Amino acid sequence: ADPGAALEVRCVPEVPATVLIDGAPRGRAPARVEALAPGRHTITLVADGFDEAHREVVLTARETSSVEVVLRPTASTPDEPA
């Protein structure tokens, strides 16, 4: 049996965010990533118009973890017209 861990990543709102795990792109949310090493991982979500979101998760061998990440719209800079 594969001792790897699996991770399901969703984001709110549901936009096609790119999912990076430990800096490596692993698809678009909602994503299911298999065969990850157990232990601590950093999840990053990147989507147009939203700030990058970061999460740390600790995965357990042979278990599926799920994480829901809330994306915040990028604030416009003060010198831009509203």
Order of all β-strands in the sheet with 64-70: 31-36, 5-12, 64-70
CB 20 within 8 A of CB 43: yes
For the cut 90, the answer to whether the pLDDT of residue 70 exceeds it is: yes
C-alpha 79/C-alpha 9 separation (Å) is 35
Of 6-15, 21-30, 45-54, 72-81, the one with minimum mean pLDDT is: 72-81
- Check whether 61 has a pLDDT greater than 60: yes
Which band of pLDDT confidence, cut at 50, 70 and 90, is reported for residue 80?
low
Of the candidates 34, 31, 36, the one whose C-alpha atom is nearest the C-alpha of residue 11 is 31
Q: Which of 12-16, 30-34, 48-52, 73-77 has the lowest mean pLDDT?
A: 73-77
